[in-house]
Amino acid sequence: MTTPQDLALFEQIYGELKRRARALRRSHPSHTLDTTALVHESFLKLIESRTQIHDRTHLFRTAALAMRQILIDALRERQAEKRGGNLQRVELSDIELPQDDPAFGFNRVSQSLDRLREVDPRLADVFLLRAFAGLNFEDIGELTDVSRATAQRDFEAARAYLLSTVEPD
């Protein structure tokens, strides 16, 4: 991601990514990264990966994956510091997953999302764009080349899949 076009595209979605990172930060107060740091870390991750960005959809997907990896890495680092302490539950309340069930920690959802990608990459992309990039269904439909209603159904299907595959403690 070193071309001037890639940088311009990132500038265009910077505000949207920052809004999403702010929402993630509010819903996960235990994270030590602030909003700007999360967005900037994702940008650095994209640059380091030297990924060729094809279009806006690809950039959103890649940035959402980078943000997810950063949050997972931060969680793992904290756990390593605790030398095997219990994983700290991270709520994904803004995507309407059950909030009172301890089985729905961030790490488990992330693992289930990886399995979903193997089963149906589009469902995984729709979930990532909604949950990590914070896009509405209209934008997701536009980016994934499906209708708004299909994007919403895909999100519901992905969420149902995640609910059925996340393993409890």
Per-residue pLDDT of the chain (169 residues; tens, 9 = 90+): 457 776 777 787 788 888 877 776 666 656 667 788 888 888 888 777 777 777 777 777 788 788 878 877 777 776 665 544 554 554 544 445 444 444 346 677 778 888 999 999 999 999 988 887 778 899 889 888 899 999 999 999 998 898 888 665 4
- Per-residue confidence (pLDDT) for residue 66, from 0 to 100: 82
- The structural domains of the chain, with segments of one domain joined by +, span 4-165
Cα separation, 132 vs 99, whole angstroms = 17
pTM of the model: 0.53
- Per-residue confidence (pLDDT) for residue 153, from 0 to 100: 95
- Per-residue confidence (pLDDT) for residue 79, from 0 to 100: 63
- Per-residue confidence (pLDDT) for residue 137, from 0 to 100: 92
Helix axes 4-27, 35-49, angle to 10 degrees: 140
**Tokens 């992905």 sit at which residue?**
158
Look up residue 90 and give its two tokens: 């991270």
- Per-residue confidence (pLDDT) for residue 98, from 0 to 100: 45
Tell me the CB-side half-sphere exposure of residue 157, using CA atoms within 13 A.
Answer: 16
Residues in the chain: 169
